[in-house]
Amino acid sequence: MTHAPSLSPTSPAPASATGFFRRFRSTPAEPASAKRVQFSSPFLPYLFLAPQMAIIFIFFYCPSVQAIRSSFYLEDPFGFGSSFVGLANYTDVLKSTEYLGIARFTAVFTALVTFFSLSIGLLLAVKADGVIRGNAAYKTLLIWVYAIAPPVAGLMGMMMFDQHIGPLVKFAGLFGWEMKVGLNYNDTAFAMIVVSVWKQIPYNFIFFLSGLQGIPVSVREAALMDCRSGFRRFRTVILPLLAPTAFFLLIINTTYALFDTFGVIDVMVKDKAANNPITLVYKVYMDGFRGNDLGGSSAQSVILMIIVFVLTIFQFRFIERRVHYN
């Protein structure tokens, strides 16, 4: 979900994450800056695209079509056939108060995780950027954070909230907060959000840092002479120039919070009481693989797909409009 390689044959390997989005833009790129590659045969670009298209087809389109199809059927859990039920799976899901509650939690969870992982990542990057200009060794040390595998980071985060040895649980205890992760709804939700944010911060940090380092020194210096207030400089010059990075990360982090937090949630609520907070994607898994309700689960994943689709369109139409690509 995270590193989609560039598909366009005309764009020479994008130097930054923002290049990935450039091809979606409705306004055509600057003619002077556009690099055109001439192919000897008109079929050659399609040939180059073929492997990527094949992967997308096998791992995205096929399962999607399969999911849409089975969302209209009531499947026998043991594979003894299925019967067409029309939109019943959808109406069941959308009428369920449990489902709507989970959807509400997912929205809050996604918003909080995206907001905090982005803002903490940005804060750390800005602070680091102030220190490391020109210091290669220090920069390398900071970037090592990124080398920690996300599952390891997630595991470490969860150990922080372990009921018996978790230092954060002990720390909260000092303030009289008896944290019961996995038992108390709010405590679990809190731990889930903290670990999910924590896991994603290094990723955001690296992108923001490289975005900051990409802002020309002379532009910062010009701003230094034009504007006295450091905060105002940041708001009016640095932040707008960071917008392409921020927009890219917004998309990535939203998707992360919706889908890639599955592992965190799974470890926290696995085999525990049903009164725990879960997100929509976990509900799809629970109903499909635990509850053996393949039809309902498929309907849920189709709904999820539509939500993500609408969200992404919204982000590109209304937020990207404010993004300045240089």
What are phi and psi for residue 225, nearest 5 degrees?
-85, -20
Q: Does 98 bind other proteins (CB under 8 A)?
A: no
Cα-based distances in Å from 290 to 120, 138, 285, 297, 302:
36, 48, 7, 10, 19
Helix, strand, coil % (nearest 5) of the chain?
A: 70, 0, 30
* 142 interacts with other proteins by CB under 8 A: no
**What is the total count of residues that contact other proteins (CB under 8 A)?**
22
Query: Smaller CB distance to other proteins: residue 241 or 252?
Result: 241
Query: What mask, x for binding other proteins by CB under 8 A, covers residues 9 to 48?
Result: ---------------------x--x---------------
Q: How far apart are CA 281 and CA 24, in angstroms?
A: 27
Q: Does 219 bind other proteins (CB under 8 A)?
A: yes
Q: In the complex, what is the shortest distance from the CB of residue 228 to other proteins, in angstroms, rounded to a whole number?
A: 4
- Are 270 and 134 in contact, with CB atoms under 8 Å apart? no
Residue 127 or 232 having the CB closest to other proteins? 232
Q: How far is the CB of 221 from other proteins (least distance, A)?
A: 5
Locate all alpha helices (DSSP H) within the chain, ordered by sequence.
19-22, 44-56, 62-70, 88-95, 97-132, 136-143, 150-160, 167-174, 185-213, 217-226, 230-233, 239-255, 262-269, 280-285, 294-314
240 binds other proteins (CB under 8 A): yes
- 252 belongs to the binding site for other proteins (CB under 8 A): no
Whether 93 contacts 99, CB under 8 Å:
yes
Nearer residue to other proteins within complex by CB, 124 or 238? 238
Binding of residue 221 to other proteins (CB under 8 A): yes
In the set 3, 176, 229, 321, which binds other proteins (CB under 8 A)?
229
Among 126, 227, 267, 311, binds other proteins (CB under 8 A): 227
For residues 247 and 217, give the distance between their C-alpha atoms in angstroms, rounded to a whole number.
22
Q: Does 324 bind other proteins (CB under 8 A)?
A: yes
Contact assessment for residue 213 and residue 129, using Cβ atoms and an 8 Å cutoff: yes
Q: Give the one residue of 228, 270, 290, 321 binding other proteins; rule: CB under 8 A.
A: 228
Q: Which of 64, 326 has the CB closer to other proteins?
A: 326
Contact footprint for other proteins (CB under 8 A):
30, 33, 216, 218-219, 221-229, 232, 236-237, 240-241, 243, 324, 326
